[in-house]
Amino acid sequence: MQECAFNQNPIGIFDSGVGGLSIVKEIRKKIPNESIVYFGDTARVPYGTKSKETITRFAKEDIGFLRSHKVKIIVSACFSVSSNALPELREEFDIPIIDMISPGIEALRDKSYRKIGVIGTNATIESGAFEHELKRNFKNIKIYSTPCPLFVPLAEEGWTNGKVPQLIAEKYLSPLIQKGIESLILGCTHYPLLYSVIRKVVGDEIDIIQPGKEVATLIKKSLQDRGQDSENKGSLQIFLSDIPRGFKRIATQFLGQNPGQIRLAKLSN
């Protein structure tokens, strides 16, 4: 009975804003029967420009909110959180927390690449989290990373193809291509929306890693391992700390479907 109740508990996902809905999309595609509670801290988005201390404090509050919804596992969909705050969060909370860094690293195992490109927000790139984990896991590897701050507003504007995104992608990615990268990690929840323009710019030879897809695969495997495959159709509840203008349009782009009813969740501070 206890086990069954646990099975039906939802997966909790939090992000600084709406970007994490691109991860929700991948999870729902792979394990549609699981229920999901999503919290987007839209009142304080973005985290990517903030300090490590502030990012950690915000993330603790986000996780506190999800725990009040009795989630069985937590996905830190925010790369800025995943690359700045994970050790402290795992020390504080006794619930499994999936980050956005490790699953992308796992996807590269057995591929024997020597040159990896990493793109993300300023905070993710400057944290060096991908670089650190890549070097810890693979020997004799070279990493070339660059922040792409304009990709986020491009995705949110819906400018995902045409001359402007292509020129911007060329400006950011050409230096990495020239270094001869064999794989490119899209280290931000917004970047999958620009997948086709990124693919066009890097060409067909470069292996593009989308961590959201890897996270979904990892959760599916993890729940099967524990025998927690649910048979009910999963629900999706979306909570935001602020309802921003134009949210429905942006959420629909990220989620690939209408987000349904959105609820406002005020954090304690």
Binding residues vs a second copy (CB under 8 A): 42-45, 49-51, 54, 122-123, 126, 149-150, 152-154, 156-157, 159, 163-164, 167-168, 171, 242-246, 269
CB-based contact 80:48 (threshold 8 Å): yes
> Residue 261 corresponds to which tokens in the numbers above?
């009813």
How far from the centroid of its chain's Cα atoms is residue 72's Cα?
A: 18
To the nearest whole angstrom, how small is the minimum distance from the Cβ of residue 163 to a second copy? 6
CA angle 198, 203, 209 (to 5 degrees): 55
E strand or H helix at 199: helix 195-202
Catalytic residue among 78, 108, 123, 219: 78
- Answer positive or negative: Cα dihedral of 44, 48, 188, 234: negative
* Least separation in angstroms between CB 246 and a second copy: 6
CA–CA dist 210, 227 (Å, integer): 26
Beta strand 36-40 with 236-240 is parallel
Does 148 participate in catalysis according to the annotation?
A: no
For the bound state, the minimum distance from the C-beta of residue 251 to a second copy, rounded and expressed in Å, comes to 13
Q: Which of 55, 77, 107, 188 is catalytic?
A: 188
Compute CA distances 244 → 40, 60, 91, 228, whole Å: 11, 22, 33, 35
Minimum distance from CB of 45 to a second copy (Å)?
Answer: 7
Beta strands in 66-190 (DSSP E): 73-76, 97-98, 115-120, 142-147, 183-187
| Residue 206 or 240 with smaller CB distance to a second copy | 240
36/152 with CB nearer a second copy: 152
CB closer to a second copy, 150 vs 177:
150
CB of 240 to a second copy, least distance (A): 10
- Whether omega before 96 lies within 30 degrees of 0, making that bond cis, reads no
Specify whether 4 is catalytic.
no
Tell me the one-letter amino acid at 113.
Y
What SS3 state is found at 156?
A: helix
Catalytic residues: 78, 188
